[in-house]
């Protein structure tokens, strides 16, 4: 592939082609071919602008724009022959354009450089991924809201320290993830707005002496405006870091839900049954149904965080403007984006298909003295006891129940009175899990009435 007698790309200045190792370390075509559609869109916008500004003829611009569509169709149909000697997608496309249309192809690169070209392509690619992330998050939010609506009043244990704390509702637990995902979505929406400035026309680093119209190309490519500083435009990759950090935080949330699904689907919990469509079997243990998708989503955070860290380190300390280091921005970002989109889709599928086991949830909700706080609150309300004293009395009753191997509602009134003589029959009204959750009507609380309000709010917002 390496031509030793001349250099395919740099012509005049170079007498010899690159060493094979040089080509191997230098070429990005192996991965940046994923930006072919963005590259061609950018070049088509640039050519139209060059003609409008009178820098090239309409005829040449038309030939370039048509030729680029031919190149795109060759790439889309898998017929394109990518060449490592041509280094990257930008040079590959331009070289093929030259083969197709001849001389006018050489006029396309007027008033731009690969530095603004690659920044533009990569921005367009990342912007698409932000849109995909937003759509994927919304789809998952809808699936969680549907679960919340179905089980707005199903009781389950709420945990702190993974120890039974107080009963909560299934709907409330599902909506906790909806809130997290809504913040994830807003991080992408926010980052997308911030990044939407066009680098095209910043040229190598200093702008150009040609009378280009950067506003025109910005608009054609769906940017809000051209980036205002050419040095910044070619050397900024913080839009990718915004994407990767928003992806990382979203991946944390997905990993937490995954962890819960792994625990909940175990034989010891049986809180949920995952569908066959989102489980795997074991090659040796016939009884097994494994939550592999949940485990893999839980693990994807490693790659996404890895990409975030890698690009942070690539960018740290780079002088202005462009340095070749920045070619290392793509593979990591591509991999993180693929991982995130797959994780979101798999989680949506799993959540849609899973069924909560209402009876197991309810049985677990009542165990572990989960209504002890309700008992203490009752002592405060009914007997006007200071909360600290009520806490102590309740603790004594919990210890009694524990020593008998029963739950709080199984104690008799006499048992209760032996600890505090003023306790009455009414106390049993608060020891049931349904009463417990129904009483927590504070804003954002777990009461089914509150959950239903939040479900309605989310249905309204998500459409």
Instruction: By CB under 6 A, name the binding residues for ligand ARG.
Output: 28, 32, 88, 114-115, 118, 322, 324, 326-327
Which one is catalytic: 282, 355, 367, 449? 282
Question: 114 or 185: whose CB is closer to ligand ARG?
Answer: 114
Q: How far is the CB of 305 from ligand ARG (least distance, A)?
A: 23
| Residue 161: active-site member | yes
DSSP E strands in 151-245: the ranges are 155-160, 163-169, 197-198, 225-226
Nearer to ligand ARG (CB atom), residue 115 or residue 248: 115
Q: What are phi and psi for residue 11, nearest 5 degrees? A: 40, -115
Taking the complex as a whole, the smallest distance from the CB of residue 253 to ligand ARG amounts, in Å, to 31
**At closest approach, how far in Å is the CB of 121 from ligand ARG?**
9
CA distance 255 to 66: 46
Q: Kindly state the smallest distance separating residue 61's Cβ from ligand ARG, in Å.
A: 24
Q: Which of 239, 166, 175, 176 is nearest to 439 (CA)?
A: 166
Reading the block at residue 313, the tokens are 């380190």
Query: If you write DSSP's letter for every residue of 128-146 in order, what string do you get?
Result: HHHHHHHHHHHHHHHHHHH
3-state secondary structure of 438: helix
Q: How far is the CB of 26 from ligand ARG (least distance, A)?
A: 8
Based on CB atoms, which residue is closest to ligand ARG, 125 or 177? 125
Burial letters for 133-166: b for 16+ Cβ neighbours within 10 Å, e otherwise?
bbebbbbbbbbbbebbbebbbbbbbbbeeeebbb
Active-site position among 5, 77, 161, 209 = 161
Checking DSSP bridges between strand 355-356 and strand 272-273, what pairing results, if any? antiparallel
Question: Nearest approach, Cβ of 342 to ligand ARG (angstroms)?
Answer: 24
**Segment holding 184, helix H or strand E:** helix 170-195
111: left (phi over 0), alpha (psi -120 to 50) or beta: left
311 touches 240 (CB < 8 A): yes
> Among residues 339, 390, 295, which one has the least CA distance to residue 132?
339
State the catalytic residues.
161, 282
């Amino acid at each position: 592939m390496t031509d030793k007698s001349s250099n395919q790309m740099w012509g005049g200045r170079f007498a010899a082609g690159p060493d094979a190792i040089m080509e191997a370390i230098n070429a990005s075509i192996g991965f940046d071919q994923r930006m072919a559609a963005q590259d061609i869109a950018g070049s088509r916008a640039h050519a139209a602008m060059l003609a409008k500004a009178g820098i090239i003829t309409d005829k040449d611009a038309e030939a370039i724009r048509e030729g680029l569509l031919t190149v795109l169709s060759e790439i889309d149909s898998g017929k394109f022959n990518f060449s490592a000697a041509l280094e990257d997608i930008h040079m590959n496309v331009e070289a093929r354009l030259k083969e197709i249309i001849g001389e006018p192809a050489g006029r396309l690169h007027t008033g731009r450089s690969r530095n603004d070209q690659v920044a533009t392509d990569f921005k367009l690619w990342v912007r698409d991924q932000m849109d995909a992330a937003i759509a994927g998050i919304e789809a998952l939010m809808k699936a969680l809201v549907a679960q919340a609506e179905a089980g707005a009043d199903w009781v389950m244990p709420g945990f702190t320290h993974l120890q039974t704390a107080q009963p909560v509702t299934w709907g409330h637990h599902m909506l906790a993830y909806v809130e997290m995902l809504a913040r994830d979505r807003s991080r992408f929406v926010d980052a997308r707005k911030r990044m939407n400035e066009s680098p095209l026309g910043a040229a190598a680093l200093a702008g150009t002496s040609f009378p280009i119209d950067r506003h025109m190309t910005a608009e054609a490519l769906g940017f809000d405006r051209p980036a205002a500083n050419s040095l910044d435009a070619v050397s900024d990759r913080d839009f990718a870091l915004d994407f990767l950090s928003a992806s990382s935080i979203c991946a944390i949330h997905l990993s937490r839900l995954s962890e819960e699904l792994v625990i909940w689907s175990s034989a010891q919990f049986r809180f949920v049954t995952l569908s066959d469509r989102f489980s795997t079997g074991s090659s040796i243990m016939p009884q097994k149904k494994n939550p592999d998708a949940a485990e893999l989503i839980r693990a994807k955070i490693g790659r996404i965080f890895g990409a975030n860290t890698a690009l942070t380190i690539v960018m740290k300390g780079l002088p202005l403007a462009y340095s070749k280091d920045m070619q290392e921005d793509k593979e990591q970002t591509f991999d993180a984006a693929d991982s995130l989109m797959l994780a979101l889709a798999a989680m949506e599928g799993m959540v849609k298909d899973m069924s909560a086991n209402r009876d197991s949830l309810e049985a677990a909700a009542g165990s572990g003295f989960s209504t002890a706080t309700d008992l203490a609150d009752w002592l405060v309300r009914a007997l006007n006891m200071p909360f600290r004293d009520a806490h102590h009395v309740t603790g004594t009753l919990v210890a009694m129940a524990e020593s008998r191997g029963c739950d709080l509602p199984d104690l008799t009134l006499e048992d209760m009175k032996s600890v505090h003589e003023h306790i009455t029959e009414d106390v049993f009204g608060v020891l049931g899990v349904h009463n417990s959750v129904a009483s927590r009507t504070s804003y954002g609380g777990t009461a089914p009435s509150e959950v239903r309000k939040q479900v309605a709010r989310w249905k309204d917002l998500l459409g």
